[in-house]
Amino acid sequence: MLPPPPRRADPRRTFAAAALLAPGVLLLALILVWPFLVMLGMSLRERFPGPIGPSFAKYAEFLTDPYLLNVALRTFSLAATVTLLCAVLGYPIAWFLARSRSRWAHLVFLGTIFPLLVSIVVRTMGWTILLGNEGLVNAALLGLGLVTEPLRLMQGFWSVVLGMVHVLMPFMVLSIAAVLGRIDVAYAEAAATLGATPLRNFLSVTLPLSVQGVAAGSVIVFCLTVGAFITPIWLGRGHVTVMAIAIHEQMVTLVDWPGGAASGILLSLATLLLLGGYGLLLRRWARR
Amino acid sequence: MSGPAKGVALSGVAKWYGKVPAVRGLDLEVAPGEMVSLLGPSGCGKTTTLRMVAGLEAPDAGEIRIGGTRANEVPPWRRNIGMVFQSYALFPHKSVAENIAYGLVMRRLPRAEVAARVADAMRQVQLQGLDERVPSQLSGGQRQRVALARALVTRPDVLLFDEPLAALDRKLRERMQVEIRQLQRAVGITTIFVTHDQDEALTLSDRIVVMEGGRIVQSGTPGEIYERPGSHFVSDFIGMMNALRATVTGRAEDGGLRVRLEPGGRELAVAGPAGMAAGDGVELMLRPEKVRLNPPAGAGLIHVGGTVAHVVYLGAVTYLHVGTPDGLVIAMLPNAGGDAAAPRQGDAVTLGWRAADMVCFAPPRDA
């Protein structure tokens, strides 16, 4: 006679797993799910204080307001640009970190994570010191006589891009390096012996195999850019209004809480949709 | 193959890893269509040598020629080689068919020809019907075949193997050895095969090149290497060996050496290397299969009596470890008479072998 198959789960183990999971799950529920539900409720009111409709008036308002739609478009353009630049500029650094046996690799690693150790406020402030009208760059240009008036380096879309790329680059580099470091060098060597030039080798083997790292880094950078507040305010000097700033305006300046909540929900939804589509695209490409 | 098979020639090739020499001044010629094994313990420089032929490592000195043309400066992707890696290195994100097609796609062949040649190659290594699988869905032997097909389908000038069978279990390994050898013969491709497994080298090669410490210590057919090892290292590395300690007592009239076995004091005349003088310590190497059990008297054999200390039964053969006055002698006996016929531990036996079957070497310095 065969002994009966073992029971699926030992109740003691199940309890232990539940006990270990509980604090994290409760905390997440408290700081993520609960506020989200509150905001969802808020967005379904017509005014606050007032009853929860449910009314989609604030959503309709958003989707017909050219100013807000423009801000949303700018926000996602900014996020896409920053993500692309981080990926393109960060990949070679990640490559160096993952593959180089140089003694400089340690220094490059330190240089990469160092920005993470400094508060985002301080880093952005640093850029204002560099790029301001009386900043280092303008002082140098004036001093050298290359320009006669300070350049307005700091109120455009690209100055915000510059600051955001600097702030978020470590996330991209570390995500890509983590994946690159686990890819066996033999794949690229095999491709080379089969006749792949370095460029085709990279595009057909190493890049598809490291796409997970690029995807993870992109998600982090994109999300953080979409929600960025301080950097666009300081480096855009009021000329680069993004969603975070607009929502702040709606809620604090206009005291339109349902409107701000609806904007927030729509922003989250759009971000999720974009990232989902991006993930699908990458996966399909990598399996090609 | 584009045209007739091409040979490979290395002259004075050296490679350093930092301050450690990996390969020190290697001269090696592989004839067109020849299959050569580089055999040696790990760290002997065999893989480095192979990688230099592939172009994956650059030699620090010397010249590598493929088909008579200097290849030192040619990058791997222009060398027209095929290489099978120890880990197979099959692209995990590509299907079996895409893996095999890779080299053809890189050569920008027309789509129809790629498909035809991939199908051909898959038939050749018996992988029909697995086109759409990805490497993670294949068994070890199937992966091996895909790697082989991928390396061969481009019709390379040289085929390189870097211990490709190390990960397979014994049965499969032996079958793949025969398959690789048959395929290599059929295609007639110049092949260099790196291995640390002596059986593999004996099975596969036209010629075995034994390496130690970044140098070639002996090169010859499997028979030459096995029967007439040129050094203590080679005789010890290939196959099982008895090593009997002895002291040189003088030269014989025929130019051989007169030696005295150490513990027993028996005097023998053996063939030995030049440069030995009376009083030198030597080791007499003797293959276990040359030792006979209870041979008839006379017959010109050296006879030694002893007691069976240990019996290793392996099915096809039995190894007898026999303690004799001249030291421990291991004898390999075919089990023609079944498992009951072999002597047991504690039995008194007589062993015999021909003096000509012993090879005399100076013992390794660290021994």
Length of chain B: 367
CATH number of the domain where residue A174 is located? 1.10.3720.10
Mean local confidence (pLDDT), B95-100: 94
**Would you say A165 and A79 are in contact if contact means Cβ atoms under 8 Å apart?**
no
Structure confidence at residue A101 (pLDDT): 80
In chain B, what percentage of residues exceed pLDDT 70? 98
Mean local confidence (pLDDT), B356-365: 82
Distance from CA of A193 to the nearest CA of B (A): 5
Mean local confidence (pLDDT), A95-104: 86
Q: Confidence band (pLDDT; 50, 70, 90) for A48?
A: confident
Q: Do B55 and A194 touch (CB under 8 A)?
A: no
Does residue A209 belong to the interface with chain B, where contact is any CB pair within 8 Å?
A: yes
Of the partner residues A190, A196, A204, the one whose CB lies closest to the CB of residue B89:
A190
Does residue B106 belong to the interface with chain A, where contact is any CB pair within 8 Å?
A: yes
Quote the CA–CA distance of A21 and A24 in Å, as a whole number: 6
Kindly report which listed range (A158-167, A273-282, B221-230, B336-345) carries the lowest average pLDDT score: B336-345
Arithmetic mean of pLDDT over chain A = 88
Please tell me which residue, A51 or A255, carries the higher pLDDT value: A255
In the predicted model, is pLDDT for residue B207 greater than 90?
yes
Q: The CATH number of B240-361 is which of 2.40.50.140, 3.40.640.10, 3.30.420.40, 3.40.50.300?
A: 2.40.50.140
| Partners of residue B83 in chain A, C-beta under 8 Å | 189-190, 193
Mean local confidence (pLDDT), A66-89: 94
The model's pLDDT over B58-84, given as tens digits with 9 standing for 90+, comes to: 999 999 999 989 999 999 999 999 999
Structure confidence at residue B303 (pLDDT): 87
What was the ipTM of the complex prediction? 0.85
**Would you say A150 and A133 are in contact if contact means Cβ atoms under 8 Å apart?**
yes
Task: Choose, out of B84, B102, B192, the residue to mutate when testing the contact with A (most A CBs < 10 Å).
Answer: B102
In a domain, A86, yes or no: yes
Q: Do B102 and A204 touch (CB under 8 A)?
A: yes
Q: Do A186 and B93 touch (CB under 8 A)?
A: no
Of the partner residues B92, B93, B154, the one whose CB lies closest to the CB of residue A194:
B154
Please tell me which residue, B85 or A279, carries the higher pLDDT value: B85
* Chain A residue with minimum CA distance to B94: A287
In the predicted model, is pLDDT for residue B309 greater than 70?
yes
Quote the CA–CA distance of B325 and B262 in Å, as a whole number: 9
Quote the CA–CA distance of A30 and A155 in Å, as a whole number: 38
In the predicted model, is pLDDT for residue B263 greater than 70?
yes
Does residue B80 belong to the interface with chain A, where contact is any CB pair within 8 Å?
A: yes
In the predicted model, is pLDDT for residue B50 greater than 90?
yes
Quote the CA–CA distance of A151 and A131 in Å, as a whole number: 9
Mean local confidence (pLDDT), A65-92: 94
Q: What is the CATH number of domain B8-236?
A: 3.40.50.300
SS3 B238: coil
Mean local confidence (pLDDT), B176-183: 90
In a domain, A227, yes or no: yes
* Chain B residue with minimum CA distance to A200: B106
Does residue A199 belong to the interface with chain B, where contact is any CB pair within 8 Å?
A: no
SS3 B5: coil
Number of domains in chain A: 1
In a domain, A68, yes or no: yes
* Chain B residue with minimum CA distance to A283: B93
DSSP B109: -
Q: A99: domain range?
A: 27-114+160-287
Determine the residue type at B295.
Answer: P
Mean local confidence (pLDDT), A233-253: 88
In the predicted model, is pLDDT for residue B47 greater than 60?
yes
- What radius of gyration, in Å, describes the C-alpha atoms of chain B? 25
In the predicted model, is pLDDT for residue B1 greater than 60?
no
Mean local confidence (pLDDT), B262-267: 80
Please, what's the largest Cα pairwise distance for chain A? 97
| Partners of residue A102 in chain B, C-beta under 8 Å | none
Of the partner residues B54, B79, B93, the one whose CB lies closest to the CB of residue A208:
B93
Domain boundaries, chain B: 8-236, 240-361
The model's pLDDT over B141-164, given as tens digits with 9 standing for 90+, comes to: 899 999 999 999 999 999 999 998
Fold match, B8-236 / B240-361: no
Q: Confidence band (pLDDT; 50, 70, 90) for B366?
A: low
Of the partner residues B83, B91, B107, the one whose CB lies closest to the CB of residue A193:
B83
Structure confidence at residue A113 (pLDDT): 84
Of the partner residues B78, B89, B150, the one whose CB lies closest to the CB of residue A189:
B89
In chain A, what percentage of residues exceed pLDDT 70? 98
Does residue B55 belong to the interface with chain A, where contact is any CB pair within 8 Å?
A: yes
**Would you say A69 and A246 are in contact if contact means Cβ atoms under 8 Å apart?**
no
| Partners of residue A186 in chain B, C-beta under 8 Å | 85-87, 89
Of the partner residues A197, A209, A286, the one whose CB lies closest to the CB of residue B77:
A197
In a domain, A128, yes or no: no
Task: Choose, out of A102, A194, A202, the residue to mutate when testing the contact with B (most B CBs < 10 Å).
Answer: A194
In a domain, A147, yes or no: no
Q: Do A193 and B91 touch (CB under 8 A)?
A: no
Does residue B154 belong to the interface with chain A, where contact is any CB pair within 8 Å?
A: yes
SS3 B2: coil
Structure confidence at residue B235 (pLDDT): 87
Matching residue, tokens 């096809």: B316
In a domain, A121, yes or no: no
Structure confidence at residue B51 (pLDDT): 96
Distance from CA of B105 to the nearest CA of A (A): 9
